[in-house]
């Protein structure tokens, strides 16, 4: 079932260390906690410099959506400056990561999948007027990261999105995106058994 998730209906959860807050957009299975989710998609505001929580056995992709740059110290091995030029970074959840913000809070789109259950792919797409989306997995999530409004439609359905809304696309295979200008993130969630079937073929 195709589902529109309106950002205005969601509620942020403050971090225990006071360094920011997280708004969960979608998680599976429903009602899953941070300890037992298969996948989790969220939007976080980083207001202060500090370490990230560790998630052993989880793969993460973090994308800068708004605000100043943030520098990530990833496992004391590399530093990544998330900015408009390089807005996306992927890393294992068990790796120690600390963030340094430049004084301006940042808004970050976060995708996490638990190894052995599923994996994910994240595509950042910037377009004007029209863009066609061909679904590549059983579950695709579309997130509007920049732009006042976006219309998403297939042959049978049409939905209107505003900033930070998300749509779960799990029926039609081809969708048309329409907006004067928009930046979207397309997240494909791939169950591990799907990958096994692909290998068997």
- Are both 150 and 163 inside the same structural domain? yes
Burial 41-74 (b: 16+ CB within 10 A, else e): bbbbbbbeeeebeebeebbbbbbbbbbebbebeb
- Are both 18 and 37 inside the same structural domain? yes
In this structure, how many other beta carbons lie within 10 angstroms of the beta carbon of residue 105? Answer: 17
At 127, which CATH number?
Answer: 2.60.120.10
* pTM listed for this prediction: 0.91
53-93 per-position pLDDT tens digit? 899 999 999 999 998 888 888 887 788 888 877 889 999 99
- Are both 86 and 105 inside the same structural domain? yes
Inside any domain, residue 1: no
State yes or no: pLDDT of 143 exceeds 90.
Answer: yes
- Are both 61 and 137 inside the same structural domain? no
Is residue 43 within 8 Å of residue 25, measured between CB atoms? yes
28-43 per-position pLDDT tens digit? 998 888 899 999 999 9
Distance of CA 139 to the CA centre of its chain: 13
């Amino acid at each position: 079932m195709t589902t529109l998730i309106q950002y205005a209906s969601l509620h942020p959860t403050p971090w225990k260390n006071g360094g920011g807050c997280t708004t969960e957009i979608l998680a599976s299975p429903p009602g899953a906690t941070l300890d037992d989710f298969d996948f989790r998609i969220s939007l976080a505001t980083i207001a202060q410099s500090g370490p990230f929580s560790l998630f052993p056995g989880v793969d993460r992709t973090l994308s800068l959506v708004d605000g100043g740059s943030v520098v990530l110290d990833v496992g004391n091995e590399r530093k990544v400056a998330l900015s408009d030029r390089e807005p996306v970074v992927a890393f294992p959840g068990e790796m120690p990561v600390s963030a340094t913000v430049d004084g301006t809070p940042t808004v970050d789109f976060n995708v996490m999948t638990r190894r052995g259950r599923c994996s994910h792919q994240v595509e950042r797409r910037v377009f004007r007027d029209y863009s066609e989306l061909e679904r590549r997995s059983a579950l695709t999530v579309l997130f509007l990261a920049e732009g006042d409004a976006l219309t998403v439609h297939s042959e049978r359905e049409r939905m209107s999105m505003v900033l930070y809304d998300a749509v779960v696309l799990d029926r039609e295979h081809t969708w048309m995106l329409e907006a004067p200008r928009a930046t979207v993130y397309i997240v494909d969630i791939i169950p591990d058994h799907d990958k096994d079937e692909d290998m068997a073929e």
